[in-house]
């Protein structure tokens, strides 16, 4: 293959991915009740923990809301990323996938579109959540550089969960089953973590799990960065987990996608 | 070896099974360039499976398949560039508007911006969707969705188009409307393979009808010949008065005449459609004979099935299951 052809192919592929990203971004605002739901739910959680449970929880971060912010944010991002499984399952069950697959394009571009759509939606959601947090007393002390690191973490974590969500969307037999499948995965990971309470009070086996699973590392890294505390190994562990998940789940999702429909 | 110059679609000994279920049991079929072939068969006959294999969505277990001269097994990308597919269930994006759907398809086919604009306008107009173009597809009726679906598969001027039950779930008016648009397609020299469960639809649209049952093509012919092999349309007239009836028997001319004096009915085979019916009615009117009721009995898919399989369509399926 000569270099000009390679160049042309790459150009087309990038164009295809872009067209499908635009499609997914359009879904965000055309389906704004979904965005609304995805944003309101973590806000409700934040108010619940801030005002109802917060008083009874002892933390070492000054106020509880300072502790809570990172947990709420990561849980919100994780549930937000599940939209990918929903979008992919919808594409598969409703049939538009057949049309997209008969186009002369790389078929994984469709998944790229949805995952990137999640990224945009989660970015928006993170901004709204942090602003709400500040309204109810969250006092971040992060420097500009630390905010950039937080943003990178948000992006990587979203990508990691979105690709897992893509796999769930591909495995789901119906659109309805997608929501409980996602719930089954995200619920334990986000509650058996340091999102809402310190892990010290958990029984030993649970504590071992909670302290070593990816959500806790991402939460602890963001928490330390926002509050100007030592990050320890959490940042590195968070990055390793996110990259690891992304590297493993993309080829699996690609394989499942090609196999879909009995090929 | 069949010529890929003359034939847009060539299928030889195509077989496909899902697990233990043998769905296609050796299908041979060719479609000449510029022709419309209707694949007529009941639920579960294997129509969608054939379409999915032709459009590279499914791998065959056995057989050679060429689409626009390209082998589906070794040249899937070339096949994809040659075809437009309208699947059995509308394949459009619910959240986008009709216009956005078409623009997106045009971009994914790598058409130039000016071609996309021109083609989109042209198709929206042709399919009567210009007014609804800026509304989300969610708000479309079934017929509008179907038409948008057709438009989307035509955006890149494909030389070959697959339509899987293009009028299923449409009301009679929308059905007619979709038929007319498909007919117009043919003026552009496009090759069409469509599937249907209605003989009437195949008859209206196709140059050739292939009847498929239980994974095999059991008959292939022009609509006219196929119908005459099955049995013709029959016009049945009930005459009002007994003396008129006796005169009617002598006045009416036509093929395959029969009459029943007790029920005062006269029936005859109709070969030239409306004109012939008009002729018969004129003859009766001129002789002052009053007609009580008039019915036109068309051969149905059931008749075709019973003729070629000796079974009712349901029986055929049960036996296969
Ligand atoms: N992916 C699949 N896995 C298992 N069985 C399948 C699959 N796709 C089709 N079948 C079976 O193959 C048979 C033929 O299906 P196909 O969809 O080709 O029929 P059809 O002629 O299009 O019917 P209809 O008129 O209902 O659309 C059916 O018995 C169907 O259950
Ligand atoms: Mg079908």
Residues B124 and B190 placed together within one structural domain of the fold: yes
pLDDT at B111 over 60: yes
Neighbour-count burial of B216, counting CB atoms closer than 10 A to its CB (0-12 exposed, 13-18 middle, 19+ buried): middle
B95 touches chain A (CB under 8 A): yes
Nearest-Cα residue of chain B relative to residue A97: B91
Residues B201 and B242 placed together within one structural domain of the fold: no
Which ligand 1 atom sits nearest the alpha carbon of residue B41? 21
pLDDT more than 90, % of chain B:
43
Residues B221 and B262 placed together within one structural domain of the fold: no
Closest CA to B145 of B183, B108, B98, B102: B98
Asked which of B228, B252, B275 is the last residue of a domain, the reply is B228
The token pair that represents A252 in the structure block:
């699996």
Residues B246 and B223 placed together within one structural domain of the fold: no
pLDDT more than 70, % of chain B:
94
- Residue B9 or B257, more confident: B9
Residues B100 and B54 placed together within one structural domain of the fold: yes
Question: Cα(B84)–Cα(B34) distance, rounded to whole angstroms?
Answer: 14
Residues B238 and B160 placed together within one structural domain of the fold: no
Could you tell me the pLDDT band of residue B319, with boundaries at 50, 70 and 90? very low
Position B318 scores a pLDDT of 42
**Cβ–Cβ gap A104/B100 under 8 Å:** no
pLDDT at B200 over 80: yes
Position A108 scores a pLDDT of 79
How many angstroms is it from A158 CA to the middle of ligand 1?
Answer: 38
What is the best residue among B15, B16, B21, B24 to mutate for testing ligand 1's pocket, by most ligand atoms within 8 Å of CB? B21
Chain segment A28-65, per-residue pLDDT in tens: 888 888 888 888 989 999 899 888 888 888 787 778 88
Asked which of B228, B252, B285 is the last residue of a domain, the reply is B228
Position B310 scores a pLDDT of 65
CATH number at residue B52: 3.40.50.300
Query: Does residue B293 form part of some domain?
Result: yes
Of A14-23, A44-53, B161-170, B312-321, the one with minimum mean pLDDT is B312-321
How many angstroms is it from B301 CA to the middle of ligand 2?
Answer: 16
A8 touches chain B (CB under 8 A): no
Residues B217 and B270 placed together within one structural domain of the fold: no
Neighbour-count burial of B291, counting CB atoms closer than 10 A to its CB (0-12 exposed, 13-18 middle, 19+ buried): middle
State how far the alpha carbon of A227 is from the alpha carbons of A1, A63, A67, A221, in Å.
54, 11, 9, 10
Q: What is the model's pTM?
A: 0.81
Query: Does residue B318 form part of some domain?
Result: no
Nearest-Cα residue of chain A relative to residue B58: A263
B52 touches chain A (CB under 8 A): yes
A206 touches chain B (CB under 8 A): no
Chain segment B203-246, per-residue pLDDT in tens: 889 999 999 988 999 989 888 888 777 777 788 889 988 888 88
CATH number at residue B239: 3.30.70.120
B56 touches chain A (CB under 8 A): yes
A26 touches chain B (CB under 8 A): yes
Residues B132 and B99 placed together within one structural domain of the fold: yes
Residues B143 and B273 placed together within one structural domain of the fold: no
B198 touches chain A (CB under 8 A): no
Position B321 scores a pLDDT of 33
Write the residue with the smallest CA distance to atom 19 of ligand 1.
Answer: B44
pLDDT at B187 over 80: no
Cα of B82 to nearest chain A Cα, Å:
10
Query: Does residue B313 form part of some domain?
Result: no
B173 touches chain A (CB under 8 A): no
pLDDT at B183 over 60: yes
How many angstroms is it from B189 CA to the middle of ligand 1?
Answer: 30
**Mean pLDDT value across residues B10-33:** 93
Position B161 scores a pLDDT of 94
Residue in A19, A103, A262 closest to B80 by CB: A103
pLDDT at B320 over 70: no
What is the best residue among B16, B20, B46, B86 to mutate for testing ligand 1's pocket, by most ligand atoms within 8 Å of CB? B46
Query: Are B101 and B109 within 8 A, CB to CB?
Result: no
**Cβ–Cβ gap B95/A30 under 8 Å:** yes
Mean pLDDT of chain A: 88
- Contacts with B52 from chain A: Cβ below 8 Å: 98, 261
Residue of A8, A19, A90, A98 to mutate for B, most B C-beta atoms under 10 A: A98
Asked which of B198, B228, B258 is the last residue of a domain, the reply is B228
The token pair that represents A168 in the structure block:
């769930």
Which ligand 1 atom sits nearest the alpha carbon of residue B45? 21
Residues B213 and B283 placed together within one structural domain of the fold: no
Q: What is the pLDDT along chain A (263 residues), one digit of tens a residue?
A: 578 888 888 888 889 999 999 999 999 888 888 888 888 989 999 899 888 888 888 787 778 888 899 999 999 999 998 888 888 888 888 778 888 888 888 777 888 899 998 899 999 999 999 999 999 988 888 889 999 999 999 999 999 999 999 999 999 888 888 888 888 889 999 998 888 888 888 898 998 998 899 999 999 999 999 998 888 899 999 999 999 999 999 999 988 887 776 44
Structural domain count of chain B: 2
Q: Above 0.95 for ipTM, yes or no?
A: no
Query: Does residue B303 form part of some domain?
Result: no
Only one residue has tokens 């971004």, namely A25
Our CA dihedral for A164, A168, A170, A174, rounded to 10 degrees, sits at -160
**Mean pLDDT value across residues B261-269:** 86
Question: Cα(A93)–Cα(A110) distance, rounded to whole angstroms?
Answer: 14
Residue in B56, B59, B96 closest to A102 by CB: B56
Task: Give the closest ligand to the alpha carbon of residue B57.
Answer: 1
How many angstroms is it from A179 CA to the middle of ligand 1?
Answer: 28
Position A213 scores a pLDDT of 93
How many angstroms is it from A183 CA to the middle of ligand 1?
Answer: 33
pLDDT at B287 over 80: yes
Residues B240 and B275 placed together within one structural domain of the fold: yes
Residues B102 and B165 placed together within one structural domain of the fold: yes
Position B316 scores a pLDDT of 45
Query: Does residue B44 form part of some domain?
Result: yes
Taking a 5 Å cut-off on Cβ, the residues next to ion ligand 2 are B 47-48, 88
Q: In terms of residue numbers, what domain contains B249?
A: 232-298
How many angstroms is it from B22 CA to the middle of ligand 1?
Answer: 10
Neighbour-count burial of A20, counting CB atoms closer than 10 A to its CB (0-12 exposed, 13-18 middle, 19+ buried): buried
The token pair that represents B194 in the structure block:
């469509």
Q: Which residues line ligand 1 (CB under 6 A)?
A: A 262; B 18, 21, 23, 41, 43-49, 88, 197
């Amino acid at each position: 293959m000569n270099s000009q052809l390679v160049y042309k192919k790459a150009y087309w592929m990038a164009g295809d991915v872009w067209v499908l990203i635009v499609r997914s971004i359009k879904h965000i605002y055309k389906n704004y009740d979904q965005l609304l739901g995805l944003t309101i739910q973590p806000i409700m959680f934040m108010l619940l923990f801030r005002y109802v449970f917060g008083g009874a929880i002892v933390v070492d971060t000054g106020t509880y809301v300072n502790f809570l912010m990172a947990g709420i944010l990561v849980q919100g991002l994780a549930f937000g990323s599940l939209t990918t499984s929903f979008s992919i399952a919808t594409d598969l069950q409703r049939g538009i996938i057949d049309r997209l697959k008969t186009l002369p394009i790389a078929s994984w571009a469709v998944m790229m579109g949805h995952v990137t759509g999640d990224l945009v939606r989660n970015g928006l959601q993170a901004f709204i959540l942090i602003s709400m947090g500040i309204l109810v007393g969250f006092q971040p002390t992060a420097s500009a550089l630390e905010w950039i690191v937080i943003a990178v973490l948000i992006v990587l974590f979203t990508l990691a969960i979105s690709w897992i969500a893509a796999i769930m969307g591909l495995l789901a037999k119906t659109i309805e089953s997608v929501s409980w499948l996602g719930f089954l995965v995200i619920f334990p990971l986000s509650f058996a973590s340091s999102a809402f309470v310190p892990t010290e009070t958990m029984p030993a086996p649970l504590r071992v799990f909670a302290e070593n699973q990816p959500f806790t590392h991402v939460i602890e890294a963001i928490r330390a960065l926002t509050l100007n505390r030592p990050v320890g190994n959490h940042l590195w562990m968070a990055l390793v987990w996110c990259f690891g998940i992304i590297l493993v789940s993309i080829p699996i999702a690609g394989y499942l996608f090609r196999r879909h429909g009995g090929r | 070896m069949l010529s890929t110059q003359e034939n847009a679609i060539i299928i030889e000994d195509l077989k496909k099974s899902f697990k233990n279920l043998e769905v296609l049991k050796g299908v041979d079929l060719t479609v000449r360039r510029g022709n419309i072939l209707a694949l007529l068969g009941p639920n579960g006959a294997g129509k969608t499976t054939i379409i999915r294999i032709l459009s590279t969505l499914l791998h065959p277990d056995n057989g050679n398949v060429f689409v626009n001269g390209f082998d589906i097994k070794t040249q899937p990308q070339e096949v994809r560039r040659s075809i437009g597919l309208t699947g059995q269930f509308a394949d459009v994006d619910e959240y986008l508007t009709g216009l956005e759907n078409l623009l997106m398809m045009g971009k994914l086919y790598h058409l130039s911006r000016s071609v996309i604009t021109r083609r989109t306008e042209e198709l929206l107009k042709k399919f009567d969707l210009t007014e609804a173009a800026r509304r989300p597809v969610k708000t479309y009726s079934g017929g509008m969705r179907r038409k948008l679906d057709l438009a989307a598969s035509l955006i890149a001027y494909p030389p070959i188009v697959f339509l899987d039950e293009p009028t299923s779930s449409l009301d009679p008016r929308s059905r007619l409307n979709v038929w007319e648009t498909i007919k117009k397609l043919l003026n552009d020299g496009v090759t069409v393979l469509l599937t249907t469960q209605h003989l009437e639809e195949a008859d209206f649209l196709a140059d050739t009808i292939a009847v498929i049952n239980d994974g095999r093509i059991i008959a292939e012919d022009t609509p006219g010949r196929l119908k005459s092999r099955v049995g013709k349309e029959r016009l049945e007239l009930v005459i009002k008065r007994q003396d008129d009836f006796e005169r009617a028997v002598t006045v009416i001319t036509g093929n395959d005449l029969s009459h029943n004096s007790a029920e005062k009915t006269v029936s005859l085979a109709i070969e030239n459609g409306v004109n012939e019916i008009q002729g018969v009615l004129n003859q009766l009117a001129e002789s002052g004979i009053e007609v009580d009721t008039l019915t036109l009995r068309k051969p149905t898919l059931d008749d075709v099935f019973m003729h070629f399989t000796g079974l009712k369509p349901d029986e055929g399926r049960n036996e296969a299951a």
